Structure 1
């Protein structure tokens, strides 16, 4: 198959064989009806002067010379559109995201195919053969691909699984990031860790607040602080509001005190107050890792009303394994599971099916002790209370373990909650 590297610097002639210059750029456009970029025009340079011709003028492409269909004075020129991609300047040698293999890779070459009279980019070559073609060793590259055909296929990525990081002068993505938005936050976090600073910044700038918050929650606070270092305070504050309070507190703890306070001032009062409270507790205690986002119910509600109340609170998915029962002063009275609620008859009072013996922990309980309690009683979450037994937060099992097990082990453990892509 032909590759874009074989066109770079190639002589371009008109229909009379007159040299017009050398190929300087190939431009392509993405169309909704076809997932691969169509080659739309080529740029020809001659003594620092450039002219762009549409691909409809091309009669011979992959030969010793690129031939165009008409004499020079009759050739149509092309005005480069806003959505056209410069395959040589903006794609070759750049990092892209392989959304199938969930990795950041470098583009060494682009494979071209012809379909119904049009040329398209079919695959991205990320292997050594692409580099060899670029330095004129095409035969060696072809030999390597033939001998190591199994590995050669692994070094090609179909454009279907490519997400570009091409930006305009205002640093916004030109190519919609639909494939990126479909990735799990943990996969996004892994991509960010694989990128250099410039490319991670581009990806972060292209993400909406909700997806950005989800991705940041999957990386260590130190890395979070690095990623938000150059973001505007307004954008970071919006992200912090979307993050769970405990994750937001961890991030703020890694930032300089002055900026941390500025960000808290920009946040909505309710979210900021929750985070301030968490920051007031020592890092190695339950209060330092708890979240204030949990579901709670009064004992006098029926099962049907309890469901409505939980729905109105809109708690995170990870916080509704257990629903805690409190009085008007927030004293912890009991607990029931989601399955208890679903199986209860609609008119049954919560007080009749809740469990009154609740395993809880004080806000100043050490994290190691907290993890032991969770393991001993096989809990997914544990309620955190103050010295008057008032419910002030909740810690999930994965957050408790996250603080006491080695980082290498964490990656092998499943998360206790699901990710909803809807």
Structure 2
């Protein structure tokens, strides 16, 4: 299959088979021209064509929060987007490596919730049960990868927005260390990361490698690790189980604990506590949202996000500093924990997917309560610390829903997390896709 044939098949499938509403816009002639250029390079260079362009002919989607020069970026919102219409650095690097951008995927407004519920487009449904949510806010990306409507995807993660939908949709989602992949425009709350979603750990690692590296517009990019490289074969792994973990989630993730032990690693239960962590997260996010929101836009804003903005408008500088103090306390706590453990492991999300049209489980679904992310306690702490975190499929519940296992390393120890995830993936296997994969990945040509 040529790159053009593969790209055409993917584009046709998106237009004809995207019954889950994963995409909000689909590429046209630009994608076909990119595929034609890939084929011309392959004809000229043969196998050497991939030497400097490792993603040649690989189809990727881009989350609708990220700017692209050839496709509109609505950011999941009815509000106008005044950002320049040019590729964000990660997108530009994907294209430079030969990837073909096939469309923009669904998100909640500005990525405010861990769902894709918005006024701009229908919510993305779960590939394993369309009555349920795909998660978010990179839910469109996860559903597209799970159903073969792209080979890989670029998402963002401010409080779990790559890893939560990866867990719900049975794919790999990787949030790198803060700064490993540049985020432009830089996010002042220092919570947001960009990262890949893919069917396998190896594919996610390749996508991340292409996008990684410093960029002058992101002062956090290229930050190094304070930790010495960890290359030992036997790892000390801290296993965390959060309060409220569903029995089905525990049932599916327990074999991963056994698999890690069978690989020779030391696995111990550990508890990490940090007082007022979730309220601090709420204040940081709300202050950030309020800083960028104009009162005259309130009528067109997402109602749930508007509640967050309203809370942000009540905060003062002292409130934000107190939230930052909590973050610093968490960073110190987890640095101490990571002095004792090489990797932390846990269920990515302690609950099963909720209804498609909801942005949270029922108990957290009233935005006025500001509990919209409280149901995902394994996700947001590692945005606050900037640690690398990867969700890989652990298996299916008895009702056939995917469950994710999350691996977390010290800041900068991304290669360690990816290596362990690859070994664990070999033991756990990859869930059977929810629909037959009619597309041949470019790498398999």
| TM-score normalised per structure 1 | 0.26
Whichever structure has more strand as a proportion of its residues is 1
Of structures 1 and 2, the one with the larger relative CO (CA 8 A, separation 6+) is 2
| TM-score normalised per structure 2 | 0.25
